[in-house]
Structure 1
Amino acid sequence: MIAALVSAGAAVPVAPPGLHWSACASGLPQECATVSVPIDYAEPRGDRLDLAISRIRTAKPELRRGVLVIIPGGPGGSGLNRPSTYVKKLPQSVLDRYDLVSFDPRGVGASSPVSCELAPADVTQTAILPWPGPGGDISPTVAWSRRAAAACAKNGGPVYDSINTRNEARDLDAIRRALGERQISYWGVSYGTYVGAVHATMFPGSTDRVVLDSNDDPDPALVERGWAASYAIGVEDRFPDFAAWAAEHEEQYHLGTDVRGAYLRLADRLDRAPLPWPGANPPVLDGNTLRSNVLNGLYSDARFPQLASLMSAALAGGPLPPTTAAPEAALQNTFAVLNATICHDVSWPRDLRAYARDVAADRKAHPLTAGMPRNVYTCAFSPGPAEPPVRVTPDGPPNVLLVQNLRDPATPYRKALNLKRALGDRARMVTVDAGGHGSYLDNGNACGDAEVTRFLTDGTRRDITCRG
């Protein structure tokens, strides 16, 4: 059995590291290097790309256990600067035991970045998720998805074509080998949980201590299709937290006692009569821009004041709070990697009538998200996966700790339980009675944070529910 082959001790380097570390271009206090990997793992002698990686070494090498890789989320998130971010957040007991390592996944940022070169008018922050038109009309999304799929087919290139979660797991193991480590520990958040679960399934003997935080449902029949649909559940679970907070701050924001009703009425009004919003992309606040901002605002309690200010200003007819749009190049890159991943991981339905029916039903069942979770994606017009999705199994060492908020808008608790079931006795779960996306070190929940820290430092893990 695989578990019997895994050392219970510290990770041991299997070869002298062959990486050339130097100062990062960002100027941050971390080291950077590159790892060469095949574009196509089926053709290991073919064309290659360089993955940009970074690290901050432990200040106490005598206590060093190994490396803790921070797996970026997304898909499309950059990890290159995360060691410098998390060295300020992680407890000293963790920093003493691990080198912090992260990376830009293939196609992202400094790792051979890809772009579909969408027309500027098609690159908006609301277009990345398929919000239907007013009344649930899917025709604008269908037209946009056709254009985007054609642009990706024309402009994506070989690196774009190679992007999928299987290859990111292979890349992660290539990073392990380049670091000279027999095993690695890692902390994956959001999409990073799926990358981690896939790596732990494909390379179980390469894993030391695995933390998966805010967990994606690994159902191989759905994968990203299921994650998209889960937004409807997650937003319904989470919105009451914001509504209660806004009601407590009624004197400041004037959203009334029926915050849910105020939001739904405001979104409907903005569908019909958008407000100008200089600096935004697009420069108007319509119903879908509001819905997108609500979804983003539910990711953290710290975002509640910004969301409430926007709603309050919109209810008053403006002016709206100042805002700045993300750079177009960053949106192009994020969209391309996101699109490649979700389309290359699993097959998507092609029947547009079915999408229209699903959107109509979802709007009635979950009005807060207006049918977006079941709408058509570019994948309906894109080539399918070259390899089948990975089926996550219990086969491997019992070294996984899941941490999950009860009210997560993006990866809902009831779906996260499916990852725990798939991993079986390999996993234990720390359930945190909190809202928001991201749990460890993100909620101020001392119990949940202590459980994860304890696991990373001494390997202790258990099923536990942490209250506020």
Structure 2
Amino acid sequence: MRARPAVLAAATAALLLLVGCSGGDEAPEPAASGPNAPSVSAPAVPDALSTYYDQKLSWTDCGDGYQCSKLTVPVDYADPSGATIPLSVIKLPAGKPKQRLGSLVVNPGGPGASGVDYARRASTSISAATRRAYDVVGFDPRGVATSDPLECLTDAQTDTFIGQDPTPDTPAEVSRMTAIGKGMGLGCQRADPALVGHVDTVSAARDMDVLRAALGDKRLFYLGKSYGTYLGATYADLFPTNIGRMVLDGAIDPRLSAREIDLGQAKGFEQATRAFVADCVDRSGCPLGSDVGRGMQRIQGLLASLDAKPLPSGDPSRPLTEGWGSYGIALGMYDKGFWPSLREALDQAFSRDGRGLMQLADMYADRQPDGTYAGNGTPALYAVNCLDRPVGDGAADVKAELPTFQRAAPTWGGLLAWGELPCTSWPLPATGKPHAVTAPGSPPIVVVGTTRDPATPYPWAQGLAEQLSDGHLITYRGDGHTAYMRGSRCVDKAVDAYLLRGTKPKDGLTC
């Protein structure tokens, strides 16, 4: 499972509006590059990388007030004189240039989501006050979207990958899942054998420091959501004293293993699904009945029936399988704004009509009406994750863990347990490993956690804030994935106070 920030930004229903919080102490003003920034020396740069750090971005108009450019980075930072790749960068200049603080680099998550697309939605993802004070800068990480994307799967192969049985019950089904996952890894390797081993998060974080310098900023100002928090934490681990201000919303705890992340997400989606069902059964005409426990069982029964007999979806070549149905239901857990659509889609599915759930699944997967995919998010997700953390040895390890997952999350446990299988046959070994990030010497770093977040469970935000040497947690009591600019004025006020004035959130701030 991953964040779908582009989809979330399009949600039209109102979210919870919670108030009643206040800011904390003023933090020292960090260095930026705007006219209001204090004078400070630039960070030291290794001689071997000076060519990259000294580059100047050439901006061209790319519509709607945005400017676009390309940033050159080495494929392998251990061999900076070797091959290079261009990263796509986009900028929305600060609305009030005379009050400009610098650049705010943003990343929406994934891994595999486009930072360029996310920056183009700045009007819904970043407050007006912050847009006036900062240039909003997005970039597509290496191997993603428009930055030398890894073309691992055809559109038809992506359909097969998503639509496959996510909870195999027989040796034949396990073998098929193993073969499909291995095929994706080999496809990535064939697509770009040089780059595929260097799309890890450490390399992307090093790219971000090159971007900081190319933007003319002495310190990095950053807003990361979901996986973007892991990218931000990795940057903080590598360059703690290069940070200006950093907000990590929907946090991942970098100490967690791949297995711990999968189990945490299984529990998170289970909790979020129960919240959805609890809301549904209190409404007249709920397709899940009037009892939460039975409602959960009905969703589980639906997924089991899709495994046995897929539903028609309006496209004879692509019925609603358990894989597609899981995607459709999962999307509803990311934002309460999707709950009405999910209720309607479930009602249709119980009447043997899979069109509604398939439409939600297509939104989750970024699948277009013509059958193409808007990006390479699905294979990029695995290409990055399989390098970032080692996994078990294969299907036998997954089977051994299945009882634990299924007890913790009867609806989602099996799917999340089997989700690591493609990485067990990935053609390259993992280069990263879980470890604590303390970022000694950094300025205050703000971490935001949502109590019923399905994809990045709240304990992860608590864990990241605790391990950072100067971490500060904002808690949002609510549903959905991430919190800033998602409907809570309390969260928005606290984050903006920090980004604009360096005001640290009050200890224990809960919205």
Q: Same fold (TM over 0.5)?
A: yes
User: By how many angstroms is 1:434 displaced?
Assistant: 0.6
User: Are 2:287 and 1:254 equivalent residues in the alignment?
Assistant: yes
Separation in 2 of the partners of 1:175 and 1:320? 43
Q: Mind listing any 5+ residue stretches in structure 1 that lack a counterpart?
A: 1-5
Matched-pair contact (CA < 8 Å) for 2:287–2:346:
no
User: Are 2:474 and 1:430 equivalent residues in the alignment?
Assistant: yes
Separation in 2 of the partners of 1:96 and 1:28? 16
Q: Summarize deviations over 1:315-354 as a string: whole Å, max 9, x none.
A: 1122633738415663772223212111111222114312
| Aligned 1:259-338 pairs, distance under 5 A | 259-279=295-315, 283-318=318-353, 320-321=355-356, 323=359, 325=362, 326-327=367-368, 330=373, 333-338=376-381
User: Are 2:282 and 1:239 equivalent residues in the alignment?
Assistant: no
Matched-pair contact (CA < 8 Å) for 2:335–2:479:
yes
User: By how many angstroms is 1:460 displaced?
Assistant: 1.3
Q: Summarize deviations over 1:228-265 as a string: whole Å, max 9, x none.
A: 232211012212221122123332x4321132122122
User: By how many angstroms is 1:378 displaced?
Assistant: 1.6
User: By how many angstroms is 1:452 displaced?
Assistant: 0.8
Q: Summarize deviations over 1:109-151 as a string: whole Å, max 9, x none.
A: 22111112358345347359x8212589644322322322333
Cα gap change, 1:89/1:272 in structure 2, threshold over 3 Å: closer, same or farther?
closer
User: By how many angstroms is 1:430 displaced?
Assistant: 0.4
Cα gap change, 1:28/1:108 in structure 2, threshold over 3 Å: closer, same or farther?
farther
Matched-pair contact (CA < 8 Å) for 1:132–1:371:
yes
- Match of 1:90? 126
- Match of 1:80? 116
SS of 2:245's equivalent?
A: strand
Deviates more, 1:345-354 or 1:136-145: 136-145
Separation in 2 of the partners of 1:445 and 1:7? 26
- Match of 2:260? 226
1:58 aligns with one of 94, 99, 119:
94
Q: Summarize deviations over 1:369-413 as a string: whole Å, max 9, x none.
A: 141222242211122124555641241223200111000000111
| Aligned 1:155-194 pairs, distance under 5 A | 155-194=191-230
User: Are 2:475 and 1:454 equivalent residues in the alignment?
Assistant: no
Q: TM-score, with normalisation over the residues of structure 1?
A: 0.89
User: By how many angstroms is 1:105 displaced?
Assistant: 0.7
Question: AA paired with 1:434?
Answer: G
- Match of 1:350? 393
Matched-pair contact (CA < 8 Å) for 1:402–1:430:
yes
SS of 1:211's equivalent?
A: strand
Separation in 2 of the partners of 1:34 and 1:349? 38
- Match of 2:105? 69
- Match of 1:380? 424
Cα gap change, 1:152/1:82 in structure 2, threshold over 3 Å: closer, same or farther?
closer
Matched-pair contact (CA < 8 Å) for 2:163–2:324:
no
User: By how many angstroms is 1:201 displaced?
Assistant: 1.3
User: Are 2:79 and 1:43 equivalent residues in the alignment?
Assistant: yes
Deviates more, 1:224-233 or 1:396-405: 224-233
Separation in 2 of the partners of 1:82 and 1:365? 34
User: Are 2:497 and 1:464 equivalent residues in the alignment?
Assistant: no
SS of 1:186's equivalent?
A: strand
Separation in 1 of the partners of 2:86 and 2:77? 14
Question: AA paired with 1:250?
Answer: S
Give identity over the alignment, percent.
Answer: 28
Cα gap change, 1:459/1:319 in structure 2, threshold over 3 Å: closer, same or farther?
closer
Matched-pair contact (CA < 8 Å) for 1:75–1:337:
yes
Question: AA paired with 2:33?
Answer: V
Deviates more, 1:349-358 or 1:451-460: 349-358
Cα gap change, 1:67/1:287 in structure 2, threshold over 3 Å: closer, same or farther?
same
Separation in 2 of the partners of 1:389 and 1:269? 38
Matched-pair contact (CA < 8 Å) for 1:125–1:331:
no
Cα gap change, 1:248/1:387 in structure 2, threshold over 3 Å: closer, same or farther?
closer
Separation in 2 of the partners of 1:81 and 1:291? 25
Deviates more, 1:65-74 or 1:163-172: 65-74
Matched-pair contact (CA < 8 Å) for 1:29–1:84:
no
Q: Summarize deviations over 1:403-426 as a string: whole Å, max 9, x none.
A: 1100000011123222122214x1
| Aligned 1:344-423 pairs, distance under 5 A | 344-375=387-418, 376-382=420-426, 383-386=428-431, 388=433, 391-423=436-468
Q: Summarize deviations over 1:150-171 as a string: whole Å, max 9, x none.
A: 3333334212221000001001
User: By how many angstroms is 1:93 displaced?
Assistant: 2.3
Question: AA paired with 2:271?
Answer: D
Question: AA paired with 1:420?
Answer: A
Matched-pair contact (CA < 8 Å) for 1:76–1:338:
yes
Separation in 1 of the partners of 2:129 and 2:329? 37
SS of 1:305's equivalent?
A: helix
SS of 1:100's equivalent?
A: strand
Cα gap change, 1:396/1:50 in structure 2, threshold over 3 Å: closer, same or farther?
same
Question: AA paired with 1:454?
Answer: A
